[in-house]
């Protein structure tokens, strides 16, 4: 797992848990098709249209919304680690970055290739 000094993003816990995976930034509906099992989905808002992507992902990071947002409710129901209010997540995180999402602490850490 990433070291504590490798913090990339902080947010609010929606569904606690710890997961490492590949970032997939979703900025439009068509981007959902790039989210695969094991990926960490990153979105600006909590549009209900993104629910399918969440169901395929291992983790969720959203810039806006909270526990009552539709996409966050889906992540909680499915037990998918997730955080909300992660400012600038879609700008700071890029597709195919390896990260560790500590949703219990509301933190995203950078990861070196092959580090778990």
Catalytic residue among 10, 70, 92, 110: 70
68 C-beta neighbours (distance < 10 Å), count:
10
Told to judge if 70 belongs to the known catalytic residues of this protein, a careful annotator would answer yes
CB 61 within 8 A of CB 50: no
The CA-based diameter of the chain, rounded to the nearest angstrom, is 35
Dist CA 38 CA 23 (whole Å): 9
Return the active site residues. 70
């Amino acid at each position: 797992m990433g070291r504590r000094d490798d913090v990339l993003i902080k947010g609010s816990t929606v569904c606690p848990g710890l997961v490492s995976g590949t970032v997939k930034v979703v900025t439009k509906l068509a981007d959902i098709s790039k989210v695969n099992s094991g990926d960490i989905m990153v979105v600006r808002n909590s549009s209900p249209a993104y629910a399918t992507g969440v169901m395929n992902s291992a983790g969720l990071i959203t810039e806006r919304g909270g526990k009552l947002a539709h996409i966050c409710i889906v992540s909680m129901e499915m037990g998918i680690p997730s955080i909300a209010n992660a400012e600038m997540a879609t700008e700071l995180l890029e597709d195919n970055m390896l990260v560790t999402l500590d949703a219990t602490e509301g933190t995203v850490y950078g990861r070196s290739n092959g580090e778990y």
